[in-house]
Amino acid sequence: MISIRPATDADWPSILPIVKPVLAAGETYAIDTDLDDAGVKAYWMMPAHEVFVAEIDGQIVGTYYIMPNQRGGGAHVCNCGYMTSEAARGKGVARAMCLHSLEHARQRGYRAMQFNHVVSANKTAVALWQKLGFDIVGTLPRAFNHPVHGYVDSYVMFQTL
């Protein structure tokens, strides 16, 4: 069974091996790929991010953050980022985290969730987000320089809550 809870500082040693390789691969997040451990922590655990972990049998197998997508007049729309450990992929962790984030967003009073930069080559994520009710509301042509596929589109995905 997958359980999800707020992350604590004590969780960081278990979160780092999930987040660092995903960022270093450069295939799904538009962020520098050469961040050291402190840089990875500064990004994932930044004060604007409310961070959660997903566990199976007490082992952290995934993490996500939620934050306002914009400030001021756009603060009612949230944004999230999700990562699953290599060993736990295909076990429903991303789905569970997304469903948790949608419910948490509603409880926090957000009125919508928006993903700003979903890389089109990340077909598994695009399909999952669509299955969970997100629409592609915009295509950013060749906006992501993928290390394997070259310049690919990115999608803006949106769901009203």
Asked whether the beta carbons of 88 and 104 are under 8 A apart, the reply is no
> What distance separates the 2 farthest-apart alpha carbons in the chain?
42
**Average of pLDDT values for 62-72?**
97
pLDDT tens track for 9-24: 999 999 999 999 999 9
Q: Whole-angstrom Cα distance, residue 145 to residue 152?
A: 6
The 3 state secondary structure assigned to 76-119 is CEEEEEEEECHHHCCCCHHHHHHHHHHHHHHHCCCCEEEEEEEE
Q: What's the token pair of residue 29? A: 């997040």
- Considering its fold, how many domains does the chain have in total? 1
pLDDT tens track for 91-112: 999 999 999 999 999 999 999 9
pLDDT tens track for 34-59: 999 999 999 999 999 999 999 999 99
15: domain CATH number?
A: 3.40.630.30
| Structural domain of 102 | 2-160
What per-residue confidence (pLDDT) applies to 110? 98
DSSP annotation of 40: H
* pLDDT averaged over every residue in the chain: 97
User: What separation in angstroms does the CA of 20 have from each of 86, 121, 149?
Assistant: 12, 20, 21
